[in-house]
Amino acid sequence: MLDVCLLGTAGMMPLPYRWLTSLMTRYNGSSLLIDCGEGTQIAMKQKGWSAKPIDTICFTHYHADHISGLPGLLLTMGNAERTEPVTMIGPKGLERVVNALRTIAPELPFEIRYVELSQPVEHLQEQGYCITAFKVNHNIACYGYTLEIPRAGQFQVEQAQKLGIPQNCWSRLQKGETLELNGNIYTPEMVLGAPRKGIKLTYCTDTRPVPAITENAKNADLLIIEGMYAEKEKAAKAKQYKHMTFYEAARIASDANVADMWLTHFSPSLVHAEGYMEEVRRIYANAKLGKDGKTVELDFEQEKSS
């Protein structure tokens, strides 16, 4: 099960009751954060989720509303006596930007590992998460992220019995381990069926609509996507500043055939966002407004009973 919390929904600047856009997920004891603007750690505290188990921090880009909360967050993690390394992922320049911010948080009890993205699409594995970073189109280098929790095939009991595999090996094979016992080698492929649908979440903000978003969000369980502007007269502004409107985001959600979509990264000038949603839902029926602290537990598909 993947726990998902949209910590904040603001673009550009935090407002009272609207923290800057940031996403936190928890899976199997390991937390992951995407973006960390000013106040992100307060939003985390309000949610009641701890910063200490954050093993991975992904950055979409280095505009202040997506990274200026980092030094404070790192200090909090240090104060919690975290000693395990933290992996940071972001566009080229990551280490330089983080080191500049760290002049005010120089001493930390844990190591930081950097993964700098340079290709249009990159695949990474971190703590059970399969991460796809894909380049989008903002006014500086910017990436969207797809997080997937893969799911192995179902354990074939009959097959295991037929092959004479001792029962005490089954659970380890199911977890993907290869075992050697009395000179026999047992692999997961011998006893597992075809891989089943996993959990898929795509997060994408600060960009014009580009095909990479639709491709990488294809059939996602949830798409969290920027809706900077809702007012029709702001369409030109969205183009000029390389952002998206509610309607453009809904078109992507529809084309990508996602199961659910939350809008986020709202312009500080946006009020009464719900008033625009009827039209948005005509493009994509399951469109929802993101809200600070909005949470969902994404689970593996229920097994169909045969």
Q: Choosing from 65, 206, 221, 292, which is the catalytic residue?
A: 65
Nearer to Zn ion, 141 or 283 (CB): 141
Catalytic residue check, 299: no
Structure-token pair, residue 79: 């104060």
Q: Least CB distance from residue 265 to Zn ion, whole Å?
A: 6
For Zn ion, give the closer residue by CB, 14 or 71. 14
Report, in Å, the least distance between residue 88 CB and Zn ion.
18
Sequence-separated (6 or more) residues with CB below 8 Å from residue 54: 24, 31, 32, 33, 73, 77, 86
Q: Segment contacting Zn ion (CB under 5 A): 56-64, 129-137, 162-170, 289-297?
A: 56-64
In sequence order, which residues have a C-beta less than 8 Å from that of residue 270 and are 6 or more positions away?
A: 228, 229, 230, 231
| Of 63-71, 77-85, 119-127, 270-278: span binding Zn ion (CB under 5 A) | 63-71
Contact between residue 221 and residue 200 where contact means Cβ atoms under 8 Å apart: yes
Q: Is 226 an interacting residue with respect to Zn ion (CB under 5 A)? A: no
Which one, 101 or 169, has the nearer CB to Zn ion? 101
Binding span for Zn ion by CB under 5 A among 57-65, 101-109, 169-177, 252-260:
57-65
Kindly indicate which of the ranges 25-33, 192-200, 201-209, 283-291 contains the residues binding Zn ion, using the contact rule CB under 5 A. Answer: 201-209
- Our finding on whether 206 is near Zn ion (CB under 5 A) is yes
Rounded CA separation 169/72 (Å): 46
In the bound state, the residue with its beta carbon closest to Zn ion is: 63
Which of residues 1 and 140 has its CB atom nearest to Zn ion in the complex?
A: 140
Percent composition of the chain: helix, strand, coil (DSSP 3-state, to 5): 30, 35, 40
Token digits for 89?
A: 């992922």
Cα 204 from Cα 57, distance rounded (Å): 15
For residue 37, give both structure tokens: 């603007």
What is the phi/psi pair of residue 263, to 5°?
-90, 150
Q: According to the binding rule CB under 5 A, does residue 65 interact with Zn ion?
A: yes
In whole angstroms, the minimum distance from the beta carbon of 35 to Zn ion comes to 8
Toward Zn ion, which CB reaches closer, 146 or 207? 207
Give dist(CA 167, CA 256) in Å, integer.
42
Distance CA 208, CA 176 (A): 40
Catalytically annotated residues: 65
The residues of the shown chain that bind Zn ion, judged by CB under 5 A, are 11, 63, 65, 206
